[in-house]
Structure formats: structure tokens, C-alpha cells
């Protein structure tokens, strides 16, 4: 059985949904950040940098959101083009871009004070916002093309990963004026709406205290 080290509404949410979507046996190991659980030896044994998410697998512990999602998709042959599929190349490019640019940008928008301190936080937030706008526009253009791995018609590890990050950029911006909503990104809004209506996402969201339009209009 998999054990997912999670904090509600952290990056573990996407992995939680994917485990549920795949119908895999797993246990949610909820940690309390304020109580110092992320620094405990037990968590550090699975997640050496003390971050969320981490996953205990039959092959050993794993950390990094993208690694977990990709490994689950490959191991269970679902939710991503197979390694030998012709569209694997393009899928992988967008998946890594999500991890490197969207995820990192969202972190700076939500937690700019962690990188530059309280005084410079609004400036970093502005930079993150200005970088994320064209980044999200590129994902909007991808969504308009509707490849089967980034479409409202079926879930993938990419649709769930991006939907989670769009929740963050819309709802958790450190500077409220820098929030990026889906009103000007209609194709991404379609994906977000479709993903939040899937039973797996509804069930994982409910377990983490989220309901309703948690992706499309959080």
C-alpha cells in the first residue's frame, strides 16, 4: 500500500487525486506543519528536504511532486502517454514546464517572503505575476489545441497538476491584486471545471476540506 505524506491543500493534493483516480490502495499520512512534523526524523526519512508531498512506495520512498505523478502514471500505465507513445515527447515537455515554471512561479506568488523576506515580498510577487501571465497564456493555447493529455474530456497527471496550481494562483496570492483568475483563460477554465467534477477529485478534495468549484473558481 502506498503512504502519501500530505498536508491538506498543499502540493500533495494532486498526488492524492491521482492515487484516488487510479483506484490504488493508499493511506493518507497527514502532517501538521505548525507542530514541526515536516522536520521529524520519520518524515525526513521519506522526504530529505522536509517537503510535501512524499510517497512511500514498494520501491522505496519518493519526493518531488512531478516525480510522484510521473512515476504513478508510468507504473500504472494511465493518465499520461506511455514512454513509447509518439506524443510522449510533447507531453513530457509540458509536464516539466509545469513543474519548472508554473509551480515555481506559483510558489513565488503565494510565498514571496520566503525567497526575499517581508520587505521585498511585494516586488517578488509582482515579478511572479508578470512572469506567470504569459506562462499561463501558453498553457491556455495548449488547452485550445486539446491534445488528449490536456483536455477537459479526460484526466491526466498534467490536467490535475495544472488545475491545482491554477487554484493557488487564483486563491492564495500573497498580494491579492496579483491573483490570476481564469476569466481570461476559457480553455483552462473548461479543464478546471471538468477536473473538479470528477468523483476522484471531489472525494480527495472533500478529505482535504474543499468543496464546490475548488479548481475553476476557488
Ligand X SMILES: N[C@@H](CCC(=O)N[C@@H](CS)C(=O)NCC(=O)O)C(=O)O
Indicate the residue among 6 and 136 with the shorter CB distance to ligand X: 6
Minimum distance between the CB of residue 13 and ligand X, rounded to whole angstroms?
Answer: 9
- In angstroms, the CA 200 to CA 203 distance is 5
Please report whether residue 98 would count as binding ligand X according to CB under 6 A.
Answer: no
* Candidate residues 19, 52, 142, 189; the one interacting with ligand X per rule CB under 6 A: 52
* 18 touching ligand X, by CB under 6 A: no
Of 14-22, 48-56, 79-87, 209-217, which segment contacts ligand X by CB under 6 A?
48-56
From 29, 51, 131, 146, residue interacting with ligand X (rule: CB under 6 A): 51
- Minimum distance of ligand X from residue 67's CB (angstroms): 8
Residue 11 within binding range of ligand X, rule CB under 6 A: yes
Task: Specify burial of residue 25 (Cβ count, 10 A radius: 0-12, 13-18, 19+).
Answer: exposed
Q: Smallest gap, in angstroms, from Cβ of residue 167 to ligand X? A: 12
Cβ atoms of 81 and 149 closer than 8 Å: yes
Among 64, 74, 90, 140, binds ligand X (CB under 6 A): 64
- Residue 74 found at the interface with ligand X (CB under 6 A): no
Chain position carrying cell 502506498: 2
Minimum distance of ligand X from residue 65's CB (angstroms): 3
Q: Does residue 90 bind ligand X (CB under 6 A)?
A: no
CB 23 within 8 A of CB 74: no
Q: Is 10 in the site for ligand X (CB under 6 A)?
A: yes
Residues in touch with ligand X (CB under 6 A): 10-11, 38, 51-53, 64-65, 103
Amino acid at each position: 500500500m502506498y503512504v502519501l505524506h500530505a498536508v491538506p491543500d498543499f502540493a500533495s493534493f494532486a498526488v492524492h487525486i491521482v492515487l484516488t483516480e487510479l483506484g490504488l490502495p493508499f493511506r493518507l499520512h497527514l502532517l501538521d506543519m505548525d507542530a514541526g512534523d515536516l522536520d521529524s526524523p520519520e518524515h525526513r526519512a521519506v522526504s530529505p528536504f522536509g517537503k510535501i508531498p512524499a510517497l512511500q512506495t514498494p520501491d522505496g520512498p519518493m519526493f518531488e511532486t512531478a516525480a510522484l505523478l510521473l512515476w504513478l502514471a508510468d507504473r500504472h500505465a494511465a493518465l499520461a502517454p506511455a514512454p513509447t507513445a509518439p506524443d510522449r515527447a510533447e507531453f513530457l515537455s509540458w509536464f516539466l514546464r509545469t513543474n519548472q515554471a508554473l509551480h515555481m512561479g506559483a510558489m513565488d506568488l503565494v510565498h514571496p517572503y520566503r525567497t526575499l523576506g517581508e520587505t521585498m515580498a511585494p516586488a517578488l510577487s509582482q515579478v511572479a505575476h508578470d512572469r506567470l501571465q504569459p506562462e499561463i497564456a501558453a498553457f491556455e493555447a495548449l488547452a485550445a489545441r486539446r491534445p488528449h493529455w490536456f483536455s477537459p474530456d479526460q484526466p491526466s497527471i498534467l490536467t490535475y497538476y495544472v488545475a491545482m496550481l491554477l487554484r493557488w494562483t487564483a486563491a492564495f496570492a500573497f498580494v491579492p491584486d496579483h491573483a490570476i483568475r481564469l476569466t481570461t483563460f476559457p480553455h483552462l477554465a473548461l479543464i478546471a471545471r471538468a477536473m473538479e467534477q470528477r468523483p476522484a477529485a471531489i472525494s480527495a478534495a472533500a478529505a482535504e476540506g474543499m468543496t464546490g468549484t475548488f479548481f475553476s473558481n476557488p
